Amino acid sequence: MNRPAASQLVVLARWPAPGRCKRRLATSLGAVAAARIQARLTGHTLAVARPLASQLGIELVLAVDGLAPRAARRLGDQLGVGRTVLQGGGGLGVRMQRQFRRAASERARRVVLIGSDLPQLERADLASAFAALDHREAVLGPACDGGYWLIGLRRPDPALMEGIAWGSAGVLEQTLAALARRGLEPALLAWRPDLDREADLAPWR
């Protein structure tokens, strides 16, 4: 029987198909170009994550939105990820909490979730997140738009992601307040931009 991984790194990704991803970017660039950018971003995220996961013995999980189970597994195989799961329905908070609960049921002690919109993601960012969870209950990677690009927890907290105005500039502030109400002070990583609009492409090109 395989021993469960003590840590999981979960990459949240959308199926990179025209009209199914990066809708705000598609408004200005077109659906085909936006899908290509999504595919490139997902590839970059996994290229950063794979060697770190291998080095540290962390299970890498691709959580896919927009595909049925068999197609999601095929996508994971194409991207070189050994394990693929579905994000499931609901808003972003519900889908993230579902991944934390799944990982906890598998006895993972450190769980980090990241998106796939991070052109400046570095291996050191992920290593720092897991190191922080050795002595903190939570870690956040603040995003320049007021949200966060990474969240890590040592145990799921269903209420933590309730009442958050997802997609607004107040996500990080509201999450910090929710953590503070629980007496938790998260470790904070470096600020990073994500890529949602055409103007966000400039530093990446």
pTM listed for this prediction: 0.89
Q: What is the largest CA-CA distance in the chain?
A: 51
Query: CA-CA distance, 110 to 122, in Å (whole number)?
Result: 19
- 7-198 is a CATH 3.30.70.380 domain: no
Query: CA-CA distance, 179 to 47, in Å (whole number)?
Result: 31
Return the DSSP state at 150. Answer: E
Confidence of residue 195 (pLDDT cuts 50, 70, 90): low
Cβ atoms 164, 157 nearer than 8 A:
no
Domain ranges of the chain: 7-198
Angle at 153 between CA 38 and CA 181, to 5 degrees: 115
Angle at 182 between CA 181 and CA 187, to 5 degrees: 100
Check residue 140 and give its pLDDT: 98
**Could you read off the pLDDT of 46-67 as tens digits, one per residue?**
999 999 999 999 999 999 988 8
Query: CA-CA distance, 23 to 35, in Å (whole number)?
Result: 9
Check residue 116 and give its pLDDT: 86
Find how far residue 120's CA is from the centre of its chain.
14
**Could you read off the pLDDT of 178-191 as tens digits, one per residue?**
999 999 999 999 99
**Could you read off the pLDDT of 115-169 as tens digits, one per residue?**
988 888 999 999 999 999 999 999 999 998 899 999 999 988 878 888 999 988 9
Query: CA-CA distance, 29 to 24, in Å (whole number)?
Result: 9
Element of type H or E holding 73: helix 69-78
Amino acid at 9: L
